[in-house]
Structure 1
């Protein structure tokens, strides 16, 4: 069997394995194997085939890592409605307690989902009785803002 056929078969195996992993990194290594196969088809020696395959695989992997597809978005779970379904829900606050000390934050206790929760007003919001939207959850404290 010719060298280039072996390179292409190995690339095909990696492409199939890529379908099961869901990342693009095996695909980048498969591109390197394809480049090695092309080098074999042109007639390069085995050393050059390996070098071409390695260089292309490394460059493709580095390129993927630097692209938008290789970086995961860092999401703060306490603010992500996909992680915590309470974010975006509305609650009613009947009365706010006065902030304590300089830079204090208005707080309250409300009934939400059958339990009493501590509620804190998000920065820049008005502390008046009414309906609020949960913006963030820090431990057992709901951070809320005024509804719009």
Structure 2
């Protein structure tokens, strides 16, 4: 382990060549992470009426992972992928969901965000979704 030359203690793994540019960006990334936690835990709780904190933590983690995946998939080429930015950009996206015997159908309105999701391949059908009873999750425009 090697101590990096920084105003607060930072350490690198043994044998790893430290990238000082990345180390310099760490405080900003830590603040972005704190902002995401604040947004998901205090401002937009996933399961506000749940008595069990474990469910809230699990759903919040899944939401953070999903938002991070969306941000990475859609914007990694043009800007720093930020799950909080994905939350802000998609917060008002409405959709209609229909449950059928063999499928769960999601209709997403046409527009910029629909185009982003389609271009990123995030509107492809997902077959045999376990938590939907083995149904296929389908997306369409509307």
* TM-score after normalising by structure 2: 0.27
The one of the two structures with greater contact order (alpha-carbon pairs below 8 A, sep at least 6) is: 1
Q: Which has the higher helix share?
A: 2
* TM-score after normalising by structure 1: 0.26
Larger radius of gyration: 1
